[in-house]
Amino acid sequence: LNAVPGRAPRQHVRFLPAPGDDGAPGLVAARVPVLADHPLVRGPRFRRLKIGAGHRLDVKASGVFVLGIGHGNKLLTDLYNCHLTKVYTVGGLLGKATDDFSDTGNLVEKTTFDHITREKLERILAVIQGTNHKALLMHSNIDMKTQEAYELAVKGLIRPMGKSPPIITAIRCLQFALPEFQLEIHCLHETQQYLRKIVHEIGLELKSSAVCTQVRRIRDGVFTLDDALLRTQWNLQSIQNAIWDCQLKVKTELEKTLG
């Protein structure tokens, strides 16, 4: 960033002593650059960058992670207050139960899983979705007896706009091949450990046990995997392009939600 040529130094008019006519010392007006703007005096333009992080992503998970630079940190708080849903791809493995719900933990129990079919899993997922939908309506702090609550519920726009426990708005099974399965989860206010706990609880409901092998965030509010930069793309040009592309999306979303 500092290698980019900065703005040109300011110019001002100074009366410099210079040999005038007839050899007598006189003053000549000359436009010279201000010494205070000299790069060696000013130093590098950027010494520190304020970078803020969006929603947390823990060490064992991967995926979209939103960062704000400089003035973008203010947009980060606004995006947090929008309470948009995040989408995760969660991979699970049946037959094992560990103490930290992931496959790298200490083994607690091994169980059989040949009685599990995709149909049973989908039934459990439907119930999880149902109870979480109920929790969504209850934590949104709207009085259920009003007409506007009914209208928002019909459109599906009821959402908790304050603090609430983790809520799953939608969950479905993408792949099912014993002993592995993959789920797509849309959620609010969650942590990745909570998603691992959900995988463990699904295993318990199916009268077996399950551990979580993979947690990958696909979408965080308006940012999807297509907008995300890979490790090889962590250079100035791609970052600048990414910021430029996202600006419009973020602005429209903020206006729509916060008014």
Partner 1 sequence: EAAAMWWALRAVRRPPPAFRRGLAKPARPRSVRQLREAEEAAPVFQYAGKAAKRKDRVFVWGFCYSGALGVPSFVKPDVGWKKPRRIQPTPYRLETEEKISSAACGYGFTLLSSNTADITKVWGMGLNKDSQLGFQRSIRDRTKGYEYVLEPSPVPLPLEKPQETRVLQVSCGRAHSLILTDSEGVFTMGNNSYGQCGRKVVEDETYSESHLIHQLKEFDSRVVQVVCGQDHSLFRTKKGAVYACGWGADGQTGLGHYNITSVPTKLRGDIAGVNIIQVSSYGDCCLAVSDEGDVFGWGNSEYLQLASVTETTQVNVPRHLPFKIGKIKEAACGGTGNIVLTEEGNVFVWGYGILGKGPNLIETAVPEMIPPSLFGWSDFNPDIRVAHVRCGLSQFAALTNRGELFVWGKNLRGCLGTGRMEDQYFPWRVTVPGEVVDVACGVDHMVSMVKSFT
Residues with a known catalytic role: 58
Q: Among residues 137 and 254, whose Cβ is nearest to partner 1?
A: 137
**x/- binding map, residues 205-224, to partner 1, per CB under 8 A?**
xxxx----------------
- Please list every residue from 101 through 120 that binds partner 1, using CB under 8 A: 107, 109-112, 114-116, 120
Binding status of residue 251 toward partner 1 by CB under 8 A: no
* Residues 229, 211: Cα–Cα separation, whole Å: 29
Binding status of residue 123 toward partner 1 by CB under 8 A: yes
* Residues 222, 254: Cα–Cα separation, whole Å: 10
DSSP 8-state symbol, 2? T
* Residues 84, 189: Cα–Cα separation, whole Å: 9
Task: Kindly write down the DSSP assignment for every residue of 154-176, as one continuous string.
Answer: HHT-----S----EEEEEEEEEE
Report the DSSP beta bridge partners of residue 163.
none
Q: Among residues 62 and 129, whose Cβ is nearest to partner 1?
A: 129
Binding part of the chain for partner 1, among 32-40, 150-158, 175-183, 215-223 by CB under 8 A, reads 150-158
Binding part of the chain for partner 1, among 3-11, 58-66, 121-129, 238-246 by CB under 8 A, reads 121-129
3-state secondary structure 15-79: EEEEECHHHCEEEEEEEEECHHHCHHHHCCCCCCCCEEECCCCCCCCEECCCEEECCHHHHHHHH
Buried b (16+ CB within 10 A) or exposed e, 193-205: bebbbbbbebbee
From the CB of 73, what's the least distance to partner 1, in Å? 33
Task: Kindly write down the DSSP assignment for every residue of 124-140, as one continuous string.
Answer: HHHHHHHHHHHHHHHHT
Give the residue, chosen from 60, 133, 197, 216, that forms a contact with partner 1 under the rule CB under 8 A: 133
Give the residue, chosen from 129, 182, 191, 193, that forms a contact with partner 1 under the rule CB under 8 A: 129
Instruction: Report CA 114 to chain centroid distance, whole Å.
Output: 38
Give the residue, chosen from 134, 141, 240, 245, that forms a contact with partner 1 under the rule CB under 8 A: 134
Q: Among residues 66 and 142, whose Cβ is nearest to partner 1?
A: 142
Binding status of residue 141 toward partner 1 by CB under 8 A: no
Q: Tally Cβ neighbours within 10 Å of residue 103.
A: 17
Give the residue, chosen from 2, 11, 81, 131, that forms a contact with partner 1 under the rule CB under 8 A: 131
Binding site for partner 1 (CB under 8 A): 95, 107, 109-112, 114-116, 120, 123-124, 126-127, 129-131, 133-134, 137, 144-147, 149-151, 153-156, 170, 172, 186, 205-208
